[in-house]
Structure 1
């Protein structure tokens, strides 16, 4: 009797780069309001469930990154102020905050996808057993994500409306580094060893999911190394194609097939209908171009509005005050009218740019004002201590003089102390007259 061995199924772990600007599109696809939905069974979309993070995780993440930009900017301006780099302060104020990550083609964040072959999820005979297996996979995925990425995992969800059960997660790798004497918050994927080392990630996920009967994926990197060492041809590279990209390619193939059929039936197509279709295609293309141009113009206007606010603050034409907990931009009395009119014209087209500038620059100004208050308090305390020390010295010297001189110095000291206290708003702590001295003793 021949016994067939049970097939082995591999756990699949993939990382995909993300930019903060991608989050809006990511959310549209997550909520099934946009993106590539050709492979989605909408009758099951209500079964999708959250695993890690709040429902508004994307908005929270965007706000977090904006706060990082604002805090970095405030720290940088504070450092330049401490070093008295006036020219650099003006330049940085005009330039505004920078993105808190180094230039990269992959993006500063990562999307993680965890799944297995559909046959592994469907192999069990009952619905209850299959649901239990999916839940066990979900629990293992959540534990693996939290164990390896901690609080940097801002979102994870389970999708049940596609071909195979799978987990999507988003990692925001936040670190604090020191650059030119200033602490900066950055998004740095290499913070995590499993993102930095793909093979280590496959080893880790394979070991973690082994209790579920899943195995590690193909050790391609190891096979390539061995082949090169032995002088053999390395195995062909199997590049993963995202579902959306695969569907685009499939759609292209279908369109090309239809086009070929259309060419064969071209003689049967009414010429007027063909012309009308071409006109509609041209109109659609023009509308798409107009929409892209409008979006680009809006982005440029927003950026220019932020820059205009920064330049106005640097030139002293604007200031920001806190009004009932909300930062408000106002024009200073000494601002030049010509400069104001130019700045107003640049800010007016973009309300979002004005709001963004207020959010960023208000934090910077608050930091600088608090620093100035702290420095003023320190100076007053130091000066008061010096004055009090001088007063005590006068008292000690006068105590050794004859009565008439002590009486004269005492009158001067009383008058001087009163004037000093009026200026500093502090009690000088005048010494009590020694026994035998009258009230006019120093």
Structure 2
């Protein structure tokens, strides 16, 4: 592997549950923007977690809503607040996250500079993988990538998610049908809060994971992790 370090890109975006079906559809290449995708290469893509995930996540959220409602009614009854319990039952199910302009689910995209993946030694055809891109003038660009380098990136990313988001990854895949290899992940972090007024409430709360609560910490941890694979954190952004 080259001694030159290349920038890793780790982007985060916030999602509302309504966006999950669209993300799953795009993952299956059955909809969404497909103009940058070489569908003839889509068989290369690898799904590690959640071949299908949208409906399962929606069901999980519905169950959280119902359990939270049941807990709050039970807490009212335990405090002998029958009127409050009746009003809460009448109000019905509420979303299990704090209201703000950002959705409670996180989508992560992880990739590296295309130069990192380029094959330096083309003597072994079994190590080569071809991808296509478009230059600034609209012309086709052909990339000859190294499967060995892709495998190193794959190993590093799988380890990163396993170590830092245990139990929270609902979808994880490696796309190899676009110009540059990259990972997509859907991260669903939950936390429980208990008090006398509402009982135990289970919430979708990204900030319960320290790396999602502190983006600078995520940058530091990712940078340290990927430098082992001759990758450094080049650009970090959130949406």
Shared topology, TM-score over 0.5? yes
Where do residues 377-392 of structure 1 align in structure 2 (5 Å cutoff)?
Answer: none
Richer in strand (by share): 2
TM-score (norm 2): 0.84
Instruction: Give the length in aligned residue pairs.
Output: 217
Larger Rg, first or second structure (1 or 2):
1
Question: CA shift at 1:90, angstroms?
Answer: 2.3
1:7, CA displacement in angstroms?
A: 4.7
Gaps of 5+ in 1: 220-238, 243-442
**By how many angstroms is 1:145 displaced?**
0.8
- 1:385 maps to which residue? none
Please give the alpha-carbon distance, in whole angstroms, between the structure 2 residues aligned to 1:59 and 1:146. 23
User: Is 1:174–2:171 an aligned residue pair?
Assistant: no
Aligned equivalent of 1:23: 20
1:11 partnered with 2:5: no
Tell me the secondary structure at the aligned position of residue 93 of structure 2. coil
* Bigger share in helix: 1
Contact (CA 8 Å) 1:9, 1:116: kept in 2 or not? yes
> Please, which of 177, 181, 186 is the counterpart of residue 165 of structure 1?
181
Distance 1:78 1:218, change over 3 A: closer
Would you say 1:56 and 2:52 are equivalent positions? yes
- Paired residue for 2:163? 147
CA offset at residue 88 of structure 1?
2.0
Query: Match of 1:194?
Result: 211
TM-score by length of structure 1 reads 0.47
Deviations 1:273-319 (A, max 9, x none): xxxxxxxxxxxxxxxxxxxxxxxxxxxxxxxxxxxxxxxxxxxxxxx
Residue 136 of structure 1 is matched in structure 2 by 152
Q: For residues 161 and 13 of structure 1, what CA distance do their matches in structure 2 show?
A: 19
1:98-109 correspondence runs (5 A): 98-109=94-105
Partners of 2:152 and 2:109 in 1: how far apart?
Answer: 16
Following the alignment from structure 1 to structure 2, what is the Cα–Cα distance between the partners of residues 38 and 12? 22
Note the C-alpha offset of 1:182.
1.1
Instruction: Show the 5 A alignment for 1:401-412.
Output: none
Higher relative contact order (CA 8 A, sep 6+): 2
User: Is 1:85 matched up with 2:81?
Assistant: yes
What's the offset of the Cα at 1:92? 1.8
Distance (whole Å) between structure 2 residues aligned to residue 6 and residue 54 of structure 1: 35
Segments of structure 2 that go 5 or more residues without pairing to the other structure are 129-145
Cα RMSD between the aligned structures? 2.1
